[in-house]
Homo-oligomer: A and B are copies of this chain.
Amino acid sequence: MSDGAASPSSYVFEQPCPIRNVLDRIGDQWSLLVLQSLEGGTRRFNELSREIGDISKQMLSRTLKHLEQDGFIRRTVYAEVPPRVEYNLTGLGRSFLVPMRDLVTWADENHRTICAARDEYTARRAGA
């Protein structure tokens, strides 16, 4: 490896703050929704697209690529005509769903409180 551009491993292992690096990826809302869909079992691209609803094909492709790259999902291509491509959760992806589920439950339970706080903030600013 040359001394020029950082190698992939120097890039990933020499991050100043590893946790940030992971949280940054986790925070992506589409990733969460894809992982939740895959919790229901193996899915093909079009099945995910239908289940998630308002995600664009391009964003779904990008999200799947990132999740595969990080080891959360497995992409399997079957040599059929036309080729069949399936997505599955890995053990890592499945283990991530444990803390994630609690977070989603929290978000679900507290959404209205957050909305009310936003309204109150706006009203306060308008009155100030």
Chain A residues with CB under 8 Å of chain B are 8-9, 12-13, 16-29, 32-33, 53-54, 68-71, 92, 95-96, 98-100, 102-108, 110-111, 113-122
Contact = CB atoms under 8 A, between A and B. Distances in A.
Given A8-B118, A119-B8, A95 B106 contact: yes
A18 B111 contact: yes
Contacts of A99: 99, 102-103, 105-106
Contact of A69 (B9, B33, B118): B118
The 6 closest A-B pairs by CB, nearest first: A27-B27, A71-B117, A22-B107, A99-B102, A12-B115, A99-B103
A119 B12 CA distance: 8
A115 to B, nearest CB: 4
A110 B122 contact: no
A65 to B, nearest CB: 9
Given A70-B118, A96-B110, A117-B92, A29 B20 contact: yes
